[in-house]
């Protein structure tokens, strides 16, 4: 079996990496000592665009980096922030569950957030707007309880602040 036949045999379905994603991953290659070192940044590229990393993307990243799909899968599953099965919400809310946040009401806020959005941690709303995740620590213990939404830390959270944020995010 030649290289092209092998490539075709490993592709399970239609391609998921866009030309832009491929170009962005290729642009990373000169910045790293090995192709394998590009695995994590490549996974981030795909995850940011698709909001998850489907199995087909694992195969395509492996092909692009000249790695075995198992090597890419190992990296993907090592880190808890990647979603693989289905896209996470457009706004992914990471609620901190460190001891500081727990002592300052994170459990109550989690219950309230789940009630307001109709989902549990690890789930995404049916419209794809929100996803709720746990974070072990967001490094803002002095501002507990806190959550991360996108790249923004929201500190000293209360039910009222959560209501304001949910209203802002649904606009």
pTM assigned to the model: 0.71
- CA-to-CA distance for 75 and 84, rounded, in angstroms? 12
22 and 72 assigned to the same domain: yes
User: 85 in a domain, yes or no?
Assistant: no
Does residue 83 lie in a domain region?
no
Radius of gyration of the chain (CA): 19
**In which domain, by residue range, is 114 found?**
91-169
Mean pLDDT (whole number) for 9-36: 89
Mean pLDDT of 75-92: 86
Helices then strands, each counted (H, E), the chain? 8, 4
Q: How many domains does the chain have?
A: 2
Last residue of a domain, one of 26, 44, 78: 78
Residue 110 has pLDDT above 70, yes or no: yes
User: Does 58 share its domain with 100?
Assistant: no
CA distance 142 to 8: 53
Grade residue 1 by pLDDT with cuts at 50, 70 and 90: very low
Domain termination site, one of 78, 105, 127: 78
CA 30-31-36 angle, 5° bins: 85
Query: 147-149 and 130-135: which strand pairing?
Result: unpaired
Whether residue 158 lies inside any domain: the answer is yes
* Average pLDDT of every residue of the chain: 90
84 inside domain? no
Q: How confident is the model at residue 10 (pLDDT cuts 50, 70, 90)?
A: low
Same domain, 48 and 97: no
Q: Are residues 70 and 14 in the same domain?
A: yes
């Amino acid at each position: 079996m030649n290289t092209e036949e092998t490539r075709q045999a490993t592709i399970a379905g239609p391609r998921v990496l866009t030309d832009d994603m491929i170009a962005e991953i290729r642009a990373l290659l000169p910045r790293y000592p090995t192709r394998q070192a590009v695995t994590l940044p490549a996974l981030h590229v795909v995850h940011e665009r698709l909001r998850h990393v489907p199995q087909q993307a694992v195969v395509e990243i492996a092909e692009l980096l000249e790695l075995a799909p198992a090597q890419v899968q190992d990296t993907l599953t090592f880190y808890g922030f990647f979603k693989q099965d289905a896209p996470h919400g457009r706004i992914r809310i990471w609620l901190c569950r460190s001891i500081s946040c727990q002592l300052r009401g994170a459990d109550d806020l989690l219950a309230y957030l789940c009630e307001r959005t109709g989902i549990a941690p690890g789930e995404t709303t049916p419209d794809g707007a929100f996803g709720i995740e746990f974070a072990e620590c967001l490094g803002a213990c002095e501002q507990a309880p806190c959550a991360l939404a996108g790249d923004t830390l929201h500190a000293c959270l209360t039910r009222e602040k959560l209501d304001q944020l949910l209203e802002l995010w649904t606009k």
